[in-house]
Every structure is written in structure tokens, then in C-alpha cells.
Amino acid sequence: MKKSGNYSGIDCFRLIAALLIVAIHTSPLLSFNETADFILTRIIARVAVPFFFMTSGFFLISRYSCNHEKLKVFIKKTAIIYGIAILIYIPINIYKGYFSMDNLLPNIIKDIVFDGTFYHLWYLPASIIGAAIAWYMVKRWGYSKALIVCVILYIIGMFGDSYFGIAEQVGVLKQFYTLIFQLSDYTRNGIFFAPIFFVLGGMIADTNFKSSFQINGIAFVVTFVLMFVEAMTLHTFEVQRHDSMYVFLPVCMFFLFQLLLYWKKKRFTLIRMAALIIYIIHPMMIVIVHFLSKFLGDIIVENSLVNYLVVCLLSILFSMIATVVINNFTASRKSIKKKWCFETERAWIELNLDNLAYNVNALQKVMPEKSTLMAVVKTQAYGHGAFQIATSLNQMGVKAFAVATIDEGIQLRTYGISGEILILGYTNPNRAKELKKYDLMQTLIDMKYAKALNRQGITVKAHIKIDTGMNRLGVSFENINEVKMIFSMKYIKVCGIYTHLCCADSLLPEDVEFSENQIDNFYYLIDKLKERGVQIPKVHIQSSYGLLNYPQLACDYVRIGIALYGVLSKSDKNTRVKLDLHPVLSLKARVVLIRSVSKQDTVSYGRSFQAKRDSLIAIVSIGYGDGVPRELSCQKGGVLIRGQYAPIVGRICMDQLAVDITEIEDVSVGNVATLIGFDTIDISAPNVAEHFDSISNELLCRMGTRLPIIIK
């Protein structure tokens, strides 16, 4: 599930949750019925804070990450808000005699870290601690293990909260919780309470739960009823120390949150800020209402429902005014920042992940029924960005990947990629421990290599590469005994066996004959192994062109590389299976300078371009250091500016190139130049590659690591 979108349900429930929290602190129904008030404030309203935690987790927590920047930003923003809130309530704390308590410094530290310096502010330090705990657990262990640990923490917290009456009957537990309560007044905090909801929020975002609205609705109603019965039972027997942590609360929240995700319309962005302000400011409004009661009458404090409504009204009015002020201030800052970025951004790769999803679906439709797509993401996913592509594919449900090196495989694991990862190339046998640690599958490139890896004494998963005629890597298909020996090696766990077709992209009769011979050679080996009692693991032969030209092969995997990214190696699409694939990558840069060049003047290194007329030249901030082939110099290549083609003039430099825009009207500094992609007309990767006698694969892999990647 993408963590961006029109989550109207989440936005609207923020306001509902904020008003429920106001209810907790004002007890709206207490003047009418104590039980009814308990149901509202201690059962229904208990979904509010977990909802806020889950919302933060939904947009923050992910096993897919290349850095900790999002966590740092979240903690920084929350800490700033917490600091402002602390300052706001200092006058009230002084009035209440907070600073005259015994052991002031230890209590201040305890309140700042766990309990909050005012009764409702505990949520903010809990968010900081809970987010950090959840982030690092998910990052290190994945969701399953992180959730188990969070459940254990939650259970520990629960027996210091709603089930404390049971725990205090056991001497050891009573001593344990007595110690905890010296550090924090409640187990409803960032250690025991918050992490489980952060993890659940992230898990919902990262995992494709496919339950229908009806199923989620029924599950929510059932779990809420169970939580209601649980809470009323605990209340009846007076077991609680506090009424925050119920057994069925996390389960109930799981289904409630998924229900909210079904409402996807226009986002109500102002509500997000308003709900936070209501949460922070409503105790101040409670104080103001008590002050106003001296002038407006006691009914606004004595009648609990009226008191609640007045507090809500004042909180909402204050939040609306504050939100408008803050929004106008931040909008002006963003516009300044946007203008600055516009003027300084030089070049970038732009990815269309919707096209990636389309290609995955299109390729899977033509794959044999029981075949699994193995996404080839080596060399930074053919220049597209391994992190962006692999994490997106994993979220789409792709569970098999291929890379070229062990370091690429380790990188995928650090990004949080789950599933199988096959290393197609050589790995030093001395790195066997890393192969096992990161659960990588190593290609066995020949018999000698297999023996060397086996001698490490570390069980390693592997695929056997079979050379069927390419004469590159692999054990010869004729060496049946050698292949059989590999299956019997003690420390080699053979998970697959495969070959590679060297001319599958060609439909020339002689090339088709050669490919068919390769296929026959592979299956000859497989049949001989079966005859000798070898249990055949998963097999794979096809790459992108192998699928498009030999779709009849029913293998366990199909290794899709270049086609996954919406292009083929060459512009000639003469394949047996025709697919309308959509390019994922665009390459763009900015026009940073426009200069007039007189007839006979030269441009760039070597004076290789001499103007044959008075010309207008645009300097574009991209060069061969960013992956643009230098072979495209001197009008062999070009760019699109304002939907028109501008040829490259002179030699391409490391960091910039020049194009002739004499025939293009209204070009200005800051305009976008498209080197690969669509702008009224199309410049495709295969066409660009043909201009320097190459293929799309090489062109895309040239994309330099210094180019930022932007998701369209």
C-alpha cells in the first residue's frame, strides 16, 4: 500500500479522535449517568490515542528504508511541539503548585520523559519513544518479530493498567510494578503502550491486506463488542488501576483503521493541524471555561454536557484561527523554498511507479500459470534506483529478486526487502557467513567454485548455473556427474538450477535454432539428473526476451530485467509476444543559461561545433558524469524542450551540455529538458541507445549515482 494518497477517512477521524480526548477530560455524560459516561470516556474514547499512534506509524514506520531521516524529522517535530506545549502550561503548573513538590528535579525528569508535564501531554513523549522503538524493531526484525515483542510489552503494560488488580495479588509482580511506577506513573506510555500501535500502522501501510469493507466492518463490530464486555467486566470487579489498555483494543484498532482507509477522497489537510491543536489546547480551554463561569453562570461547568460542548467550541475556534495563521506562515516558507529549488535543481531521474505496476501485471499475464516473476534489480535496478524499485515491487507482492553481487543483495535486505534474493554473479567463498546471515542464494558458477564454497563449512542456499552454449558462467550441461555431486555437498542447499539464453532477443532462424538447442541441452541435463534419483529444485531459463520469444517454457521462475522497466533492449519490437509496456524512467535536467552565438562561433570543448548561422544556445545542467553518453555529442543526440526537439551541439561535458534552441520559441532559464521520456513527442531509451550503437540496458545503467530520484 502506498503511503501517499487521499486518506480522507484518516483526516476526518483525527477531528473525531481529538473531540473524544476532550470528552475523556470533561466527562460529558457524568451529570446524567455515571455508567454511560464510563462507556463513552473509558471505552469508546479509548480508540483516540491509539488511532493517533497508528496514523503516525502508517506514514512513518516501514521495513523499507534507506535512511533514518523520516524518523529524525518526526522526532524533531514532535519534540518541538512538546517543548511549545510545556511552555504553554507553565503558568497553570505554577498556579497548581507543581514546582513546590518534593524531589522536584527527579519528578520533572520523569514527567518530561514519560508522564508529560501536564496530564494530557504524556502523548508527545510516548510518540517519540514509541516511534523510535517501533522503527528500529521493524527495521531490524521485520513486522512479525517486532509485533511479537510489542505484544509482550503491551501485555506487561496491561497488567500495570486495566489488569493491575490481578497483578497486585502476586507478590513478585507487585514488586515489579512498584519499581516501574517509580519511573513512570503509568504503563500507558511510550514503552509499553505506544509501540504496538506504531507497528500496526506501519504494517497496514506496507502489507496488502485484501479483506473487503464488509469483512473489516464485521470484524470491527465484533472486536469492539468484545472490548466493551471486557471493559465492563473489569469495571464491575474494580480490577483497573487505569482504563487504557484492553486485550481487544489493538485488534479493534486494526480493523477500525482499515475501515478508515476505504474513504479516499479529497484530503482535508487543515484538519490534521487543527486536531493536534485541539488536543494540546483543550485543557487551557477547560480553565478558561471555569473562569467564564463567573460571568456566564455555573451551568457551563456544572452541567457536564454543556461544559463539554463549550470546551469543544472554544477549542475548535482557537484551532481554526491558529491553523490558518500557521498554514499561511508555512505556505509562504514553502513557496520561497520551492522557488529556490526551482532555480537550483539541475538534473534528476523521474520514476512512474504506476507504469512499473502496469508492467508487472502485463508480464505476469503472459507468464505460465505456475511461474513466479523474479525481478532483476542489479546495477541500481538498471539505473532506476534499487531502493525505489525493489521496495515498490515488494509492496506489489513480488517476492523473488535477482542481483549481480552480494553487496547488492545485502543492500536489498537493509532496505527491508523480504523474499528470495539470487546473486547471479561471483561471490568470494570467504563471504559465506554473509550469504547465510542475509539469507541470500548464491549462483554456483562451476564445480571448482562449488567445492570452495562447500569447504567454508557454512550452509548456503544456492542455484546451479548450467552452461548450455553461452560459454560464460556455469557447469557444462554435459558434466552430469559434476552437477549430481553438487546436490550431495553437505553445506550447499540447492534451491534452484538454471541456464541463460544468449540470443533469445533474435528471431533469425539460426539464432532461434541455437536458443532451442540451449533449451534442449538444459532439459537433457534435467532428465538425466532425474534418472539418477536427483530431486530437481526450481528451474528457470527465461529472461525478458526469453519470455517474449519462448513463452511456452513452463519454468518455476521467469527472470525479468529490462522489460520490467517498460522498455526493450532495442527499438525493434519483433518478438513473438507483443506487450505494450510503459517506460518507468524519464531523465530530465534544467536549462540554466541561454546565450546568443554568432555565425562562425564555436561551442564547447575542441571547437567541434561551429555555428552556421546566428544561433540561440541553451546550456543544460547534465553531462556524462550523470550518465549521458558522450557519444551523443555533435548532434547525434538531443533533448525535448517545450515539446520540441533540440539537438545537442558540441561535445558533452562532464556536468553540462549545449543544445540548439534557435527554432524553439519562448525558452527560458528553468525550463525542463527531457533527455529520455515524453514531452509532446517521445525520446525512448532504445532510440537514444541506437544513436551510439548500444542497447537500452547499457544506457539506463549509466545513470550516475549523483542524480536524485523523484517519484512522479
Could you read off the pLDDT of 576-630 as tens digits, one per residue? Answer: 999 999 999 999 999 999 999 999 999 999 999 999 999 999 999 999 999 999 9
| Tens digit of each residue's pLDDT (9 = 90 or more) over 423-452 | 999 999 999 999 999 999 999 999 999 999
What's the rounded Cα separation, in Å, for the pair 54 and 193?
Answer: 12
Catalytic residue among 163, 177, 378, 382: 378
pLDDT band at 340; cut points 50, 70, 90: very low
Q: Give me the mean pLDDT over the 147-167 stretch.
A: 97
**In the prediction, which pLDDT does 341 show?**
44
Banded model confidence at residue 343, pLDDT cuts 50, 70, 90? very low
Task: Return the residue matching grid coordinates 555431486.
Answer: 485
SS3 at position 235 = helix
Give 623 or 119, the one with higher predicted confidence: 623
Catalytic annotation on 378?
Answer: yes
| pLDDT recorded at residue 573 | 72
Joined together, the cell numbers standing for residue 696 give 537500452
Q: DSSP assignment of 553-616, as one string?
A: ---SEEEE-GGGGT--SSS----SS-------EEEEEEEEEEEEE-TT-EESGGG-EE-SS-EE
Q: Considering just the CA atoms, what is the radius of gyration of the chain in Å?
A: 32
Q: Return d(Cα 687, Cα 699) in angstroms, integer.
A: 10
CB 492 within 8 A of CB 444: yes
4 vs 57: which has the higher pLDDT: 57
* Torsion (CA) 445, 448, 452, 458 in degrees, nearest 10: 60
449 belongs to the catalytic site: no
How confident is the model at residue 338, as a pLDDT? 45
Q: What residues have CB less than 8 Å from 582, skipping those under 6 apart?
A: 352, 355, 358, 359, 566
Any idea how long the chain is?
712
CA 533 from centre of chain = 45
Give percent above pLDDT 70 in the chain.
96
User: How large is the average pLDDT for residues 696-709?
Assistant: 90
Name the residue among 306, 283, 313, 314 with its Cα closest to residue 29: 306
pLDDT for residue 330? 67
Separation CA 41–CA 48 (nearest Å): 10
pLDDT in tens, 635-662: 999 999 999 999 999 999 999 999 999 9
Sequence-separated (6 or more) residues with CB below 8 Å from residue 245: 154, 157, 158, 161, 162, 163, 187, 188, 192, 193
Residue 344 has pLDDT above 60, yes or no: no
Set 119, 136, 262, 605: catalytic member = 605
Please state, in angstroms and rounded to a whole number, the distance separating the CA atoms of residues 161 and 177: 10
Mean pLDDT, range 75-82, rounded to an integer = 96
Quick one: angle between helices 48-60 and 123-158, nearest 10?
110
Strand intervals (E) in 303-377: 347-351, 372-376
Closest CA to 421 of 454, 466, 460: 460
pTM for the structure as a whole: 0.84
DSSP letter, residue 372: E
Interval 126-151 mean pLDDT:
95
* Residue 256 pLDDT level (bands cut at 50, 70, 90): very high
420-428: which pairs have CB atoms within 8 A and are 24 or more residues apart? 420/374, 420/495, 422/374, 422/463, 422/496, 424/376, 424/378, 425/473, 426/473
- Give me the pLDDT at residue 297, please: 85
Rounded (to 5) percent helix, strand, coil in the chain: 55, 15, 35
Q: Which helix (H) or strand (E) holds 330?
A: helix 304-344
Sign, CA dihedral 226-230-236-241, equals negative
Quickly state the pLDDT bin for 337 (edges 50, 70, 90): very low
pLDDT value at residue 342? 45
DSSP per residue, 469-501: SS-SSSEETT-HHHHHHHHT-TTEEEEEEE---
Question: In the predicted model, what is the mean pLDDT of residues 570-574?
Answer: 82
Q: And the C-alpha cell for 627? A: 550518465
Mean pLDDT, the chain, as a whole number? Answer: 93
Tell me which residue has cell 538531443. 638
